[in-house]
Chain A
Amino acid sequence: MTDLIDLTIHEASASLTQGEFSAEELVLAHIKSIETQRDLNMFITETPEVAIQGARESDLRRSKGMALGCMDGIPVAVKDLFCTKGILTTAGSRILSNFVPTYESTITEKMNNAGAVLLGKSNLDEFAMGSSTTTSFYGSTINPWRSKKRVDLVPGGSSGGSAAAVAAQAAMGALGTDTGGSIRQPASFCGVVGLKPTYGRCSRWGIVAFASSLDQAGPITRSVHDAAIFLSAIAGYDAKDSTSVPVDPLDFEQSLYSGIKGMKFGIPKEYIVENMPAEITKLWEKGITWLEDRGAECMEVSLPHTKYALPAYYIIAPAEASSNLARYDGVRYGIREKGDTLDEMYQLTRAKGFGDEVQRRILVGTYVLSAGYYDAYYVKAQKVRTLIAEDFVKAFKKVEAILTPTTPSAAFCAKEKCNDPISMYLNDVFTVPASLAGLPGISVPGALDYNGLPLGLQLIGKPFEEETLLKAAQALEEGANFGRSTPKGLEV
């Protein structure tokens, strides 16, 4: 029999229906996988008891003919940014190191209602601010993929624990959040599929907020089909999130295999950046061929304001973060440092509770929002954001989706970039523009580089057209034939 941890959600769900194994067996196999890979530091909190209990309930439902759907009995990881009732939720920060929510986020509640089983809360950059999962108070996560030189590499970030867990077969799928690339970039670095839905598609209620006009939850999975199953379970309007958009929920599996014949794809010329490794350019060209081989048409499009997306993002995101993170003041939750005055208590609590990168972003955000600089920085960035969004609107008059690389490099060594904030920010050069425009994007593993490390391709779609995006991603996945390349395959 195939090892249970080798399966996709789609396959495992079919086998559960057939009674080939129980949800409890499936969950136990994953708990064992987590236990043997603790050196990768993928989880902040493991919840094996919750998982086994959930699996038994799932088996009981199934035995009565009341199974809930494809996610029933599927063991998953959840980024430790989603509030889970009665389970520690830290956001990777010392300031929330004792926070146990008394409520459940809408998305994790939807997952629970779909029968998914929680294996644990996965590691992340502190408050989701980062591209490497090295800024967590709970230590760095290590990428299960190792280069031929066998050095430890970052899994990307901020949803690095989620992506690593899916790649390492420690979870069948995982929830992440994406503000500027935090689902797509780690998915690319870990050789898995990462989907950021349209802004407003999934509820943000109960997710620890970073930059509210950009944050969006989404799935990390081992196949495009699994991404469609997962998204179907979590998408939908929620009255508790005023930016959630009331569109009809969809079954995203429905048109997954209907093909891309005649579909038009855009290749944005501005995404050719300096110093991009030749292998990434080559993969991008291959991606074009894979789409054309399946009857699609690829054409050049222009997104002229692309180079301004990153600087605009690094004004808007820190500004919103500085405002959102004002709530961590040692009064209602989290840690508190003693101070003689109220102000001193705030200052000492926040100095001790926040790490370096979070402090840096709060300071930048506070500066660009402060009197005298608001128009020069914040409003200016919002105007540039309008131009970036308009670039996409124009491009989407000619094409139905856009193909780009996901990242300008493969996974890097933790020591390489961590001392230079700006060089770290440049990692998100291909993912940030779609975030600013609120568009759905998906990273699909494309190939291994000369070092044996995965490289991803990104597809960007029109707002609320995830169905089309997933259909295109399915075609790309077939073309890439990345298959079941897993990190384990390297350790022969």
Chain B
Amino acid sequence: MSFDRKVVYNVANLARIRVAEENIDNLATELSAIIKWVEQLNEVDTYTVQAMNNVTNSTLPQRNDSVLDGGYPKDVLANAPESVDDYFTVPKVVE
């Protein structure tokens, strides 16, 4: 599978990155090369192999479902580009 203009446009949309029209062809070439290169994995027979998603083979630890920390709205909002009172703000979502 290679990247054509349409695939680049769709993936960029999924990733919420606006791609400039003049960069799409270049990106299609670069990303196709990368995908073609990683496809050499198809040479490996993995039919009976388990996928690894945790290198330490441990199960995630459990803890009591209780509040351990928190209550600092000012800290949480300190880096917000825009906020009102104790809330983050975004452009209007619901019409």
Contacts and interface: CB of A to CB of B under 8 A. Distances in A.
B66 interface: no
A64 interface: no
Contacts of A346: 16
A239 interface: yes
Interface residues of B, number: 53
A377 B56 contact: no
B44 A366 contact: no
A490 interface: no
Contact of A421 (B34, B51, B56, B91): B34
Interface string A371-388: 001000101111111110
Contacts of B13: 347
Interface stretch (A68-76, A137-145, A291-299, A330-338): A330-338
B91 to A, nearest CB: 5
Nearest to B50: A386
Interface in B18-69: 18-20, 27, 30-31, 33-35, 37-44, 46, 49-56, 58, 60-61, 63
A386 B88 contact: no
A342 B49 CA distance: 42
Interface size class, chain A: 35 or more
A363 B90 contact: no
A2 interface: no
Contacts of A436: 55
Given A342-B91, A345-B90, A350-B16, A331 B80 contact: yes
A311 B37 contact: yes
Given A332-B79, A421-B30, A383 B46 contact: yes
B85 interface: no
Contacts of B78: 100, 102
Interface stretch (A226-234, A354-362, A407-415): A354-362
Nearest to A333: B79
B83 to A, nearest CB: 9
Nearest to A380: B41
Interface in A183-209: 199-200
Nearest to A314: B38
Nearest to A102: B75
A28 interface: no
Contacts of A373: 1
Given A308-B41, A373-B1, A380-B46, A366 B14 contact: yes
B31 A367 contact: yes
B17 A311 contact: no
A341 interface: yes
Nearest to B75: A102
B41 to A, nearest CB: 5
B17 A383 contact: no
Interface of B: 1, 3, 7-8, 11-20, 27, 30-31, 33-35, 37-44, 46, 49-56, 58, 60-61, 63, 72, 75-76, 78-82, 88, 90-91, 93
Given A200-B56, A333-B81, A342-B90, 20 more contacts: A98-B79, A312-B38, A312-B41, A314-B38, A330-B81, A333-B79, A341-B91, A344-B91, A351-B17, A360-B30, A363-B11, A363-B17, A367-B35, A377-B38, A381-B38, A386-B51, A387-B49, A389-B55, A421-B33, A422-B34
21 contacts: A99-B79, A101-B79, A102-B76, A213-B55, A312-B38, A331-B80, A331-B81, A331-B90, A336-B82, A340-B91, A343-B16, A347-B18, A359-B19, A363-B11, A363-B12, A367-B3, A367-B35, A370-B11, A383-B50, A387-B44, A438-B56
Interface of A: 98-103, 199-200, 213, 239, 242-243, 245, 305, 308, 311-312, 314-315, 322, 326, 329-336, 339-348, 350-351, 354, 359-360, 362-364, 366-368, 370, 373, 377, 379-387, 389, 421-422, 436-438, 463
Closest 6 CB pairs of A and B: A438-B55, A382-B51, A336-B81, A333-B79, A383-B46, A347-B18
